[in-house]
Amino acid sequence: MSTRLEIPKMYKLFIGGKFTRTESERYLSAVNPKTKEKICNISRASRKDLRNAVVAAKAGYNAWSGKTAYERGQIMYRLAEMLEGRKEQFVEEIYISTKQSKTECVKEVHKAIDRIIYYAGFCDKWMQLSGSVNPVQAGYFNFSVPEPTGIVGIILPDNLSFLPLISRVAAVLTSGNSCILLANDNAPLPALSFSEVIATSDFPAGVINILTGQKKEIIPHMAGHYEINAIDYCDDNTGQKKEVMELCANNVKRFHALPKDHNWFSDDMNENLNEIEKFTEIKTVWHTMGS
């Protein structure tokens, strides 16, 4: 009797709330590093796919930033609830995608869910902490109000497959930004399963867009795209960092980078107001005061 051949799942890109085939029809294989067995097929995103993601992110930004801070917090809390219900799935997917032990995978998933809860509670509080009433000359009232930057391109590292994704997405979304993620090259499966959670959540279409493939191919196009307003560079490849900074300078795009040895499990380093403010702008308003 012949052995049956299993059909590996083909994961698509997640753009505008939909699972779309890559424009180039290219794909790569995700492999279990422990057993060298094939896990699934993943789409290899192209420059055109990035452009489509930018269009979707613009619409997503308008919808997400237009919601009240309270509502954004409730939606993010709901995301944590959904991940809590599927935590065993993510533990297993991290386990087969990396060289981590089951204990390490459980720790990573639990920390990721707790981090969403932290930022969900910050959604309706950070503006009071970042805004200010400024002392000016008599006869005027002056105050500063923080606003989201816009579309943020998030370039994830390859050392961990899930916690960095959640940490950066939560910080970026809290203030009302939308984002485009370039997933982990070595272990993209958790990011792809995360897209399935987003697709069935309360997030407006286009708020979170996820591209897979080869980051080194897409990063220059992302950094140089004039309608992406900021880059969150968390990649382990420090050699490409200078190129990204130069491309960001072309349209004065905000650039933020984390060190290669960043501790993703540290609450002090990942859960604070500064992580939100990195992708916000300050609008200052003057008003005359009546006598």
Tens place of pLDDT for every residue, the chain, 291 residues? 568 777 888 999 999 999 999 988 899 999 999 999 999 999 999 999 999 999 999 999 999 999 999 999 999 999 999 999 999 999 999 999 999 999 999 999 999 999 999 999 999 999 989 888 888 887 888 889 999 999 999 999 988 999 999 999 999 999 999 999 999 999 999 999 999 999 999 999 999 999 999 999 999 999 999 999 999 999 877 778 899 999 999 989 999 999 888 999 999 999 999 999 999 999 888 888 765
d(CA 197, CA 134): 43
- Three-class SS state of 9: coil
Q: What's the domain count of the chain? A: 1
pTM equals 0.92
Q: Which domain holds residue 32?
A: 10-288
Token pair 């969900």: residue: 120
Residue 1 lies inside a defined structural domain of this protein: no
d(CA 59, CA 148): 14
Residue 4 lies inside a defined structural domain of this protein: no
Q: Count CA within 13 A, CB hemisphere, residue 219.
A: 26
Residue 5 lies inside a defined structural domain of this protein: no
Residue 33 lies inside a defined structural domain of this protein: yes
DSSP state of 212: -
d(CA 184, CA 97): 11
Token couple for 152: 């943020």
Here the CATH number for the domain that contains residue 25 is 3.40.605.10
Residue 242 lies inside a defined structural domain of this protein: yes
Residue 42 lies inside a defined structural domain of this protein: yes
CA separation (Å) from 183 to 130, 159, 164, 210, 225?
Answer: 30, 12, 10, 7, 18
Residue 3 lies inside a defined structural domain of this protein: no
